[in-house]
A = this chain, B = another copy of it.
Protein backbone atom coordinates (compact mmCIF):
# COMPACT_ATOMS: atom_id res chain seq x y z
CA UNK A 1 0.00 0.00 0.00
CA UNK A 2 1.01 3.56 -0.84
CA UNK A 3 2.86 5.48 1.89
CA UNK A 4 0.42 8.41 1.83
CA UNK A 5 -2.51 6.05 1.98
CA UNK A 6 -0.99 4.36 5.00
CA UNK A 7 -0.47 7.73 6.66
CA UNK A 8 -4.10 8.65 6.12
CA UNK A 9 -5.26 5.31 7.53
CA UNK A 10 -2.94 5.59 10.54
CA UNK A 11 -3.96 9.16 11.32
CA UNK A 12 -7.63 8.48 10.84
CA UNK A 13 -7.41 5.42 13.05
CA UNK A 14 -5.72 7.42 15.78
CA UNK A 15 -8.29 10.21 15.72
CA UNK A 16 -11.26 7.87 15.42
CA UNK A 17 -10.05 5.89 18.42
CA UNK A 18 -9.96 9.15 20.36
CA UNK A 19 -13.07 10.96 19.20
CA UNK A 20 -15.18 8.41 17.34
CA UNK A 21 -16.06 8.35 13.67
CA UNK A 22 -18.57 11.15 13.52
CA UNK A 23 -16.60 13.65 15.57
CA UNK A 24 -13.44 13.15 13.55
CA UNK A 25 -13.51 15.59 10.66
CA UNK A 26 -11.78 15.23 7.35
CA UNK A 27 -10.06 18.56 7.99
CA UNK A 28 -8.60 17.24 11.23
CA UNK A 29 -7.31 14.10 9.58
CA UNK A 30 -5.82 16.14 6.77
CA UNK A 31 -4.16 18.57 9.17
CA UNK A 32 -2.69 15.84 11.35
CA UNK A 33 -1.55 13.85 8.33
CA UNK A 34 0.03 17.02 6.97
CA UNK A 35 -1.73 17.19 3.64
CA UNK A 36 -4.56 19.02 1.95
CA UNK A 37 -8.01 17.65 2.50
CA UNK A 38 -8.70 17.05 -1.16
CA UNK A 39 -5.52 15.01 -1.43
CA UNK A 40 -7.21 12.42 0.69
CA UNK A 41 -10.01 12.23 -1.83
CA UNK A 42 -7.43 11.15 -4.37
CA UNK A 43 -6.88 7.99 -2.31
CA UNK A 44 -10.32 7.43 -0.86
CA UNK A 45 -13.78 7.79 -2.28
CA UNK A 46 -15.16 9.39 0.87
CA UNK A 47 -15.00 9.43 4.64
CA UNK A 48 -16.81 6.15 5.05
CA UNK A 49 -14.34 4.58 2.67
CA UNK A 50 -11.48 5.39 5.03
CA UNK A 51 -13.34 3.92 7.95
CA UNK A 52 -14.31 0.85 5.94
CA UNK A 53 -10.67 0.27 5.04
CA UNK A 54 -9.61 0.54 8.68
CA UNK A 55 -12.25 -1.96 9.71
CA UNK A 56 -11.35 -4.27 6.83
CA UNK A 57 -7.66 -4.30 7.75
CA UNK A 58 -8.37 -4.82 11.43
CA UNK A 59 -10.77 -7.66 10.85
CA UNK A 60 -8.27 -9.35 8.52
CA UNK A 61 -5.66 -9.16 11.25
CA UNK A 62 -8.16 -10.53 13.73
CA UNK A 63 -8.96 -13.51 11.57
CA UNK A 64 -5.26 -14.16 11.03
CA UNK A 65 -4.65 -14.03 14.78
CA UNK A 66 -7.41 -16.56 15.34
CA UNK A 67 -6.07 -18.90 12.67
CA UNK A 68 -2.60 -18.70 14.23
CA UNK A 69 -4.01 -19.58 17.63
CA UNK A 70 -5.76 -22.63 16.21
CA UNK A 71 -2.67 -23.79 14.40
CA UNK A 72 -0.61 -23.70 17.58
CA UNK A 73 -2.94 -26.04 19.48
CA UNK A 74 -3.19 -29.77 18.92
CA UNK A 75 -6.34 -31.49 20.17
CA UNK A 76 -9.68 -30.32 18.77
CA UNK A 77 -10.71 -29.31 22.28
CA UNK A 78 -7.59 -27.25 22.72
CA UNK A 79 -8.00 -25.65 19.32
CA UNK A 80 -11.50 -24.54 20.23
CA UNK A 81 -10.37 -23.30 23.65
CA UNK A 82 -7.53 -21.32 22.10
CA UNK A 83 -9.91 -19.87 19.55
CA UNK A 84 -12.21 -18.66 22.30
CA UNK A 85 -9.36 -17.37 24.43
CA UNK A 86 -7.81 -15.42 21.57
CA UNK A 87 -11.16 -14.06 20.52
CA UNK A 88 -11.93 -12.81 24.02
CA UNK A 89 -8.56 -11.21 24.57
CA UNK A 90 -8.67 -9.45 21.23
CA UNK A 91 -12.19 -8.15 21.79
CA UNK A 92 -11.20 -6.89 25.20
CA UNK A 93 -8.24 -5.08 23.70
CA UNK A 94 -10.46 -3.62 21.00
CA UNK A 95 -13.02 -2.39 23.49
CA UNK A 96 -10.28 -0.67 25.44
CA UNK A 97 -8.91 0.96 22.33
CA UNK A 98 -12.18 2.20 20.95
CA UNK A 99 -13.60 3.40 24.27
CA UNK A 100 -15.57 6.23 22.69
CA UNK A 101 -17.01 4.19 19.86
CA UNK A 102 -20.41 3.08 21.05
CA UNK A 103 -21.95 0.39 18.90
CA UNK A 104 -25.34 2.07 18.63
CA UNK A 105 -24.57 4.45 15.88
CA UNK A 106 -22.01 2.29 14.18
CA UNK A 107 -24.91 0.19 13.06
CA UNK A 108 -25.87 2.92 10.67
CA UNK A 109 -22.88 2.22 8.50
CA UNK A 110 -23.62 -0.56 6.05
CA UNK A 111 -20.09 -1.98 5.92
CA UNK A 112 -20.20 -2.78 9.62
CA UNK A 113 -23.05 -5.16 8.87
CA UNK A 114 -20.95 -6.55 6.06
CA UNK A 115 -17.97 -7.18 8.33
CA UNK A 116 -20.21 -8.59 11.03
CA UNK A 117 -21.71 -10.98 8.53
CA UNK A 118 -18.30 -11.98 7.19
CA UNK A 119 -17.04 -12.63 10.69
CA UNK A 120 -20.12 -14.62 11.56
CA UNK A 121 -19.47 -16.84 8.57
CA UNK A 122 -15.79 -17.14 9.40
CA UNK A 123 -16.57 -18.13 12.97
CA UNK A 124 -19.15 -20.67 11.87
CA UNK A 125 -16.87 -22.22 9.30
CA UNK A 126 -13.93 -22.32 11.69
CA UNK A 127 -15.88 -23.95 14.50
CA UNK A 128 -17.57 -26.35 12.07
CA UNK A 129 -14.19 -27.44 10.75
CA UNK A 130 -12.85 -27.98 14.25
CA UNK A 131 -15.86 -30.01 15.35
CA UNK A 132 -15.72 -32.10 12.17
CA UNK A 133 -12.02 -32.71 12.71
CA UNK A 134 -12.84 -33.87 16.21
CA UNK A 135 -15.43 -36.29 14.87
CA UNK A 136 -12.97 -37.53 12.24
CA UNK A 137 -10.40 -38.18 14.95
CA UNK A 138 -12.99 -40.05 16.97
CA UNK A 139 -12.68 -37.50 19.78
CA UNK A 140 -16.18 -36.10 19.36
CA UNK A 141 -19.18 -38.30 18.82
CA UNK A 142 -20.92 -37.80 15.46
CA UNK A 143 -23.67 -35.23 15.92
CA UNK A 144 -25.49 -32.32 14.34
CA UNK A 145 -22.47 -30.07 13.90
CA UNK A 146 -24.54 -26.98 13.20
CA UNK A 147 -26.27 -27.25 16.55
CA UNK A 148 -23.00 -27.69 18.40
CA UNK A 149 -21.54 -24.70 16.59
CA UNK A 150 -24.63 -22.69 17.39
CA UNK A 151 -24.36 -23.58 21.06
CA UNK A 152 -20.69 -22.69 21.22
CA UNK A 153 -21.27 -19.47 19.30
CA UNK A 154 -24.06 -18.50 21.65
CA UNK A 155 -21.97 -19.32 24.69
CA UNK A 156 -19.14 -17.18 23.36
CA UNK A 157 -21.51 -14.33 22.61
CA UNK A 158 -22.94 -14.62 26.10
CA UNK A 159 -19.47 -14.19 27.48
CA UNK A 160 -18.96 -11.12 25.33
CA UNK A 161 -21.16 -8.83 27.34
CA UNK A 162 -19.39 -9.02 30.71
CA UNK A 163 -16.15 -8.51 28.77
CA UNK A 164 -16.22 -4.91 29.82
CA UNK A 165 -16.86 -5.48 33.47
CA UNK A 166 -15.42 -8.79 34.55
CA UNK A 167 -11.80 -9.57 35.24
CA UNK A 168 -9.80 -11.39 32.63
CA UNK A 169 -9.10 -14.50 34.71
CA UNK A 170 -12.75 -14.94 35.61
CA UNK A 171 -13.70 -14.89 31.98
CA UNK A 172 -11.07 -17.45 31.13
CA UNK A 173 -12.13 -19.66 34.01
CA UNK A 174 -15.81 -19.33 33.07
CA UNK A 175 -15.24 -20.12 29.42
CA UNK A 176 -13.00 -23.05 30.30
CA UNK A 177 -15.56 -24.58 32.65
CA UNK A 178 -18.43 -24.01 30.26
CA UNK A 179 -16.56 -25.56 27.39
CA UNK A 180 -15.70 -28.55 29.54
CA UNK A 181 -19.41 -29.25 29.91
CA UNK A 182 -20.03 -28.88 26.21
CA UNK A 183 -17.04 -31.08 25.41
CA UNK A 184 -18.30 -33.73 27.80
CA UNK A 185 -21.60 -33.46 25.99
CA UNK A 186 -20.11 -34.25 22.61
CA UNK A 187 -17.07 -36.36 23.43
CA UNK A 188 -16.94 -40.04 22.57
CA UNK A 189 -17.51 -42.05 25.73
CA UNK A 190 -14.89 -44.53 26.85
Could you tell me which A residues sit within 8 Å of B by CB distance? 104, 143-144, 147-148, 150-151, 153-155, 157-159, 174, 177-178, 180-186, 189
Contact = CB atoms under 8 A, between A and B. Distances in A.
Contacts of A178: 147, 150-151, 154
Contact of A147 (B154, B177, B183, B185): B177
Contact of A181 (B153, B157, B185): B185
Given A151-B178, A181-B182, 13 more contacts: A104-B104, A147-B178, A147-B181, A150-B178, A151-B155, A151-B181, A154-B178, A155-B158, A157-B158, A184-B184, A184-B185, A184-B186, A185-B185
A50 to B, nearest CB: 28
Contacts of A154: 154-155, 157-159, 178
Nearest to A190: B189
Copies of this chain per assembly = 2
Nearest to A179: B151
Contacts of A185: 180-186
A153 B153 CA distance: 14
Nearest to A144: B177
A139 to B, nearest CB: 15
A62 B73 CA distance: 46
A182 B144 CA distance: 14
A148 B186 CA distance: 16
A104 B105 CA distance: 12
A92 B174 CA distance: 29
A183 B185 CA distance: 7
Contacts of A180: 185
Nearest to A186: B181
A123 to B, nearest CB: 13
